[in-house]
Amino acid sequence: MTEQRRGLDGDWYTDPGTFAEELDRIFTRTWQLVGHAGQLRNAGDYLTATIGDQGIVVNRLADGSLHAMYNVPSLADTVPGIEEEVLAVAPTAPGRTLTHRRTHLCHANWKIAVENYNECYHCPNVHKAFTRGVVSPESYRIASRGQAIRHSATAPATTGYALAGGGEPYESFFVFPVSSIQCYPGEVLNTFRWVPLAVDRTLLVREWWFDADEPTDEQREIIDLDWDTTVSEDFDLMDSVQRGMRSRGYTPGPLIESTDGVATVHSEDTVPHLHDLVRTALGR
């Protein structure tokens, strides 16, 4: 019988030396979401972003190509096939524009933030609006594939999202270490990215991509509902977990895994997968 896996020791989340090592060996070497090509339509257009502890400039060159300093392996090379999978559920994604952005400073390590995002074991108890109005909990599946983690579900027949039709798919494409592209039912496109600022500080950037620079009343209702329920419900939870990691009495608990490795709202299979990615990147 296989021994049940446990979470990481607390110093993975609290040790500044480990955090510095992650900045060097993970965040300078991986693809990370910083924006949409639609923000850089003309030669000379540029945007800035923070990757780990580095400032990054992405610009559109005269030949039409995009250039970033520093450059890394592309999304297509990082996770082959993922761009086609995103376009299959959001075919209008290339024409979208940044409509709305919100940020929040989490008093937690970046790994706590992405672990929280990639397991839905806590969803039925914490995210009641999400599991009653956006997705059907019994349909939720989370599958790991290399540096990608894909979330899939269907919407319930009655939904709180005005643009979402019952039975339409919910899809989320997380790319290690800190990026996610989501498509809510009704092809409502949005993204998450997490910027590690310190061993116990992570900036959440939440963005929405529609057809205009300003959201309609209907779209703003969706944005507010998402932020006021699903997103903000995790803030105190993550901060509390970070405080617990600093306790001298903390002992990693067992992780609940399914037999086929695909997580549901009753298992946490993606958490050990994330741990393996971090360990591999750091050579531990």
**pLDDT tens by residue, 190-235:** 999 999 999 999 999 999 999 999 999 999 999 999 999 999 999 9
Measuring CA to CA, which residue among 56, 61, 69 is closest to residue 45?
61
pLDDT given at position 158:
59
Which SS3 state, helix, strand or coil, does residue 149 take?
strand
Q: Which of 42-51, 57-66, 173-182: highest mean pLDDT? A: 173-182
- Decide if 255 contacts 2 (C-beta within 8 A): no
Q: Indicate the pTM of the whole model.
A: 0.88
pLDDT given at position 272:
97
pLDDT at 161 over 70: no
Cα separations in angstroms, 166 against 133, 162, 261, 265? 10, 11, 28, 20
Looking at domain 11-30+80-282, its CATH class is alpha beta
Confidence of residue 46 (pLDDT cuts 50, 70, 90): confident
Render 199-254 in DSSP notation, one character per residue: TTEEEEEEEEEESSSS--HHHHHHHHHHIIIIIGGGHHHHHHHHHHHT-TT--PPB
∠ CA 194-200-205, rounded to 5°: 20
Q: Where are the domains of the chain?
A: 11-30+80-282
User: What's the mean per-residue pLDDT of the chain?
Assistant: 90
pLDDT given at position 134:
85
pLDDT at 49 over 90: no
pLDDT given at position 163:
44
- State the Cα–Cα distance between residues 263 and 140, nearest whole angstrom: 8
**pLDDT tens by residue, 71-81:** 667 788 889 99
Weakest mean pLDDT among 156-170, 228-242, 244-258:
156-170
- Decide if 169 contacts 134 (C-beta within 8 A): no
E strands, 6-114, where?
Answer: 46-51, 54-60, 66-69, 97-106
Weakest mean pLDDT among 33-37, 148-152, 221-225, 262-266:
33-37
- Of residues 116 and 186, the one with the higher pLDDT is 116
pLDDT given at position 174:
97
pLDDT at 3 over 90: no
Measuring CA to CA, which residue among 239, 186, 182 is closest to residue 206?
182
Confidence of residue 162 (pLDDT cuts 50, 70, 90): very low
Q: Which amino acid is at 192?
A: F
pLDDT at 165 over 50: no
Average confidence (pLDDT) over 127-150? 92
Average confidence (pLDDT) over 51-71? 79
Weakest mean pLDDT among 60-69, 70-79, 108-117, 135-144:
70-79
pLDDT given at position 48:
83
- Of residues 71 and 185, the one with the higher pLDDT is 185
**pLDDT tens by residue, 21-30:** 999 999 988 9
pLDDT given at position 44:
80
